[in-house]
Amino acid sequence: MNPFELKTYPDTCLRIKTLDVEDFTDETRRMVNAMAELMYKSQGCGLAATQVGLDLSIVIIDIGEGLRAFINPRVLKRSQEKDTMEEGCLSLPGIGVNVTRSAEIEISAKDQNGNIVDGKFGGMEAKAIQHEIDHLRGKLIIDYMNPFARFISAFKFKRQMRKKQSGDTIL
């Protein structure tokens, strides 16, 4: 049984800023594995620890090239070139937001065993990593919207969640 549950907006844990992982233990590996299980079950390509209620600096991604864990990730460089793409989020189901991000990034991080996984990333992988690192800072894709659009989207999302919880049909 998975110890984690996916947290959805407006859960306050989605706005926390995370703490670095100090020790890389069996528990660290269990957390990464449980997060991965939940991400795959939810049909996502990335998940941050805040999305399961943890205040730890852990993100995982799988854009079709295998699971990658990034613990204590730091962006060292961002390309000047930007790409805009509609992004979704497991914690904001049904919401899509056009987000402009660096086309390439260079990061420093560790994996679940404490091994260094520094590297340069581009394309979808760079976007996924940046999206998940945003979560570690308490930032959501709706924060990229203008205030009016964010208000309308939040209103619609909350209404959708109420209908879902009450068992009403969602149109």
Instruction: Give CA–CA dist 37/160, Å, rounded.
Output: 26
Residue range of the domain that includes 24 = 12-166
Q: How far apart are CA 107 and CA 117, in angstroms?
A: 8
| Cβ atoms within 10 Å, residue 6 | 19
Cα dihedral across residues 61, 66, 70, 71: positive or negative: positive
> Which residues does the annotation mark as catalytic?
132
41 occurs within a structural domain = yes
Q: How many helices (H) and strands (E) are present in the chain, helices listed first? A: 3, 7
36 within a domain of the structure (yes/no):
yes
Is 3 domain-assigned? no
| pTM of the entire predicted model | 0.90
Q: Tell me which residue has tokens 């864990």.
A: 69
- Which among 84, 82, 86 is positioned nearest to 96, based on CA atoms? 86
Distance CA 62, CA 92 (A): 19
Mean pLDDT by 10 residues, the chain (171 residues): 90 97 97 98 98 98 97 98 97 93 98 97 98 98 89 77 67 41
| Single-letter code of the amino acid located at 54 | L
CATH assignment at residue 57: 3.90.45.10
Please tell me whether residue 40 adopts helix, strand or coil conformation.
helix
Give domain status of residue 4, yes or no.
Answer: no
Domain count for the chain, please give it: 1
Q: What is the pLDDT of residue 42?
A: 97
C-alpha dist (Å) from residue 148 to 10, 40, 64 = 17, 33, 35
The pLDDT of residue 168 is 56
Counted residue by residue, the chain has a size of: 171
Domain-located, residue 171: no
Tell whether 101 is covered by a domain: yes
What local confidence, expressed as pLDDT, does residue 148 receive?
Answer: 84
Residue 48 lies in a domain: yes
Task: Tell whether 134 is covered by a domain.
Answer: yes
